[in-house]
Amino acid sequence: MAVHPVEAESAAPASPLLSLEELRAAFHAVGEERYHHRHPFHLLMHEGKLSRGQLQAWALNRYYYQSIIPIKDSIILSRGPDPVFRRAWRKRVVDHDGDATSEGGIKRWIKLAEATGLDAAQVRASRGTLPATRFAVNEYLNIVRNRSLLEAVASSLTELFSAKLITLRVEKLRQFYPWLSNGLDYFEARLYQAPEDAMFAVNYVFDNAKTRVEQELAVQALRDKCDILWAQLDALYFAYVQPGWPPPGAFRMEDQ
């Protein structure tokens, strides 16, 4: 696994503002370096090497992340002073919680978890979720609560990278785990939702970062968000792949 130690870059206050293209390039450089498409757990998944129990552990733990997404977007809504911004951002809450015409992403994720063989009630209660999953995901809430609105918006920008990963994942899940095929609606929906959301957020950051320092803070927020995703897969790998030690109280594969 290639990983690169990188210090948070900080620009001198007088540094010139990045252009839209430079800012976009800075975001993509973060993704190349630390988005979780490179994580060994995903590599195993895409090589067809995960067991059903390991996919259950993934679906169960990732549910906790899915379940807080509309909460973190509601926090961002609550901090947005502008009705136009809130109307645009509101779409995200609808995408995940659903409305009269759509069941929403959380319900779709439960269908995926059920396709792995998990019980929906266990998933909804996040029973057996790794503490490390909760800690990482709760940090996402800390970020959108405690940093500037600009950084909160920027932390969503892993959506710049998700469509490519999801396209690959759906292909590999169908190929190697065909018994999961009727649980993939979540990903189909995200394929068109995420790029729209990312475009809005990139433009928002560019329009609202008035100094280079603010632009760098936005890039750092994306870096921190990538770490949140990465840490979730580290915890899954440690508990369920190698050495395979779930902490006290967590989901155990042999229980299934």
Using CB under 8 A, list all residues that contact a copy of itself: 1, 3-7, 33-34, 40, 127-128, 131-132, 134-136, 138-139, 142, 223-224, 226-228, 230-231, 234-235, 237-239, 242-243, 245-252, 255
Cα separation, 216 vs 197, in Å, equals 21
**Least distance (Å) between residue 223 CB and a copy of itself:** 8
**Least distance (Å) between residue 47 CB and a copy of itself:** 16
Cα separation, 19 vs 38, in Å, equals 28
Cα separation, 140 vs 221, in Å, equals 10
**Least distance (Å) between residue 190 CB and a copy of itself:** 24
- Closer residue to a copy of itself, CB minimum distance, 83 or 248: 248
Preceding amide of 195 cis, omega within 30: no
- Closer residue to a copy of itself, CB minimum distance, 4 or 83: 4
What single-letter amino acid sits at 95?
D
**Least distance (Å) between residue 243 CB and a copy of itself:** 5
Q: What is the DSSP letter of 156?
A: G
Are 95 and 104 within 8 A, CB to CB? Answer: yes
- Closer residue to a copy of itself, CB minimum distance, 100 or 121: 121
- Closer residue to a copy of itself, CB minimum distance, 139 or 185: 139
Token pair 């968000």 in the structure block, residue: 225
